[in-house]
Amino acid sequence: MNNFEYCVPTRVIFGRDTHKNIGELIAGYGFKKILVHFGGGSVKESGLLDQVEDSLKSHGIEYVLLGGVRPNPGLGLAMEGINLCRKENVQFILAVGGGSVIDSAKCMADGVLNPDIDPWDFFMKKAVPGKALPHGNILTLSASGSETSLSCVITKEEEGLKRGFNSPTHRPLFAVLNPELTFTVNKFQTGCGTVDIMMHTLERYLGGATKDTPLTDRIAEGLLTSVMEAGEKADKNPVDYEARATLMWAGSLSHDGLTGLGRDYLMQVHQLEHELSGLYPKIAHGAGLSALFCSWARYVCKDAPMRFAQLAVRVFNQEMDFENPVYTARKGIDRLEAYFKSLDMPVSLRELNAGITQEDFLLMADKCSSNGEKTLTGIRELGREDMIEIYRMAF
Ligand code: NZQ
Ligand code: ZN
Residue-wise pLDDT tens digits, 106-146: 999 999 999 999 999 999 999 999 999 999 999 999 999 99
ipTM summary value: 0.99
CB neighbour list of residue 342: distance below 8 Å, 6 or more residues apart: 232
Confidence of residue 211 (pLDDT cuts 50, 70, 90): confident
Residues 393 and 395: their CA atoms lie apart, in Å, by: 6
Residues 279 and 338: their CA atoms lie apart, in Å, by: 27
Confidence of residue 209 (pLDDT cuts 50, 70, 90): confident
Angle at 288 between CA 287 and CA 289, to 5 degrees: 90
Q: Which amino acid is at 110?
A: D
41 Cα–ligand 2 center, Å: 23
Q: What is the pLDDT of residues 14-31, one digit of tens each?
A: 999 999 999 999 999 999
Residue 326 in this model has a pLDDT that exceeds 90: yes
Q: Nearest ligand, CA of residue 197? A: 2
Residue 393 in this model has a pLDDT that exceeds 90: yes
Positive or negative torsion for Cα 220, 225, 230, 231: positive
Residues 187 and 192: their CA atoms lie apart, in Å, by: 9
Nearest atom within ligand 1 for CA of residue 48: 19
Residues 334 and 151: their CA atoms lie apart, in Å, by: 30
Q: pTM to 2 decimals?
A: 0.98
Are residues 256 and 148 in contact, defined by beta-carbon separation less than 8 angstroms?
yes
Residue 38 in this model has a pLDDT that exceeds 90: yes
pLDDT of amino acid 199: 98
3-state secondary structure of 137: strand
Rounded percentage of the chain residues whose pLDDT exceeds 90: 99
CB 181 near ligand 1, within 6 Å: yes
CB 314 near ligand 1, within 6 Å: no
CB 143 near ligand 1, within 6 Å: yes
CB 254 near ligand 1, within 6 Å: no
Residue 208 in this model has a pLDDT that exceeds 90: no
